[in-house]
């Protein structure tokens, strides 16, 4: 009886299934990590946008009066929560004044804070 070489052996099929299972498991694990990273990136972007908006609002308020920095809205403030982001701002110094905007948001590992600082000439 002559044996032909066509087809796969049972061992070859089992090895292929194991390799495929390992690959699929790695893809599932990395897709969960990517989803978390995208969610965190969205929150970081939202926090940076809110901090930048607050910074520009206070800068506009400072420059809207003569003499500068005497507007009633140009003052310390917060905490203020919007879209899951808590922000607060602090003014220090006399001329130039240092404006520090702090934004905080929750992540899967706890609360994360970012700080933006700028100088405003009065």
**pLDDT tens digits, 91-114:** 998 889 999 999 999 988 899 999
Q: Is 5 a domain residue?
A: no
- Going by C-beta distance under 8 Å and a sequence separation of 6 or more, which residues neighbour residue 121? 68, 95, 96
Region 63-81: mean pLDDT is 89
- The pLDDT, as a whole number, for residue 1 is 55
Q: How far apart are CA 119 and CA 37, in angstroms?
A: 32
Instruction: Work out how many domains the chain is built from and give that number.
Output: 1
Find the domain containing 32 and state its range. 11-120
C-alpha angle 93-63-61 in degrees, rounded to nearest 5: 85
Q: Is residue 2 part of a domain?
A: no
1 domain-assigned: no
Residue 9 pLDDT grade (very low, low, confident, very high; cuts 50, 70, 90): confident
Has residue 92 been placed in a domain?
yes
- Looking at residue 72, its pLDDT comes to 86
Averaged confidence pLDDT in the chain: 89
What is the widest separation between alpha-carbon atoms in the chain?
Answer: 106
Answer yes or no: is 69 within a domain.
Answer: yes
Q: Please tell me the least confidently modeled range out of 3-12, 53-62, 77-86.
A: 3-12
> Does residue 107 belong to any structural domain of this protein?
yes
- The answer to whether residue 6 is domain-embedded is no
In which band, very low, low, confident or very high, does the pLDDT at 36 lie, cut at 50, 70 and 90? confident
pLDDT beyond 80 at 51: yes
CA dist., res. 11 & res. 18, Å (int): 11
Chain centre distance of CA 59: 24
- Cis amide prior to 117 (ω within 30 degrees): no
Residue 4 lies in a domain: no
What's residue 3's pLDDT?
Answer: 63
State what percent of residues in the chain have pLDDT above 70.
Answer: 96
Task: With a cut of 70, say whether residue 5 has pLDDT above it.
Answer: no
């Amino acid at each position: 009886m002559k044996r032909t070489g066509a087809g796969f052996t049972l061992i070859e099929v089992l090895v292929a299934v194991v390799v495929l299972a390992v690959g699929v498991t790695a893809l599932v694990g990395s897709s969960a990590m990517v989803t978390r990273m995208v969610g965190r990136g969205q929150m970081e972007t939202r926090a940076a946008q809110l901090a930048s908006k607050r910074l520009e609002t206070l800068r506009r308020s400072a420059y809207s009066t003569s003499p500068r920095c005497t507007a009633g809205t140009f003052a310390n403030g917060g905490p203020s929560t919007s879209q899951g982001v808590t922000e607060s701002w602090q003014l220090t110094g006399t001329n130039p004044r240092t404006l520090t905007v702090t934004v905080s948001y929750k992540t899967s590992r706890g609360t994360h804070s970012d700080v933006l600082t700028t100088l405003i000439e009065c």
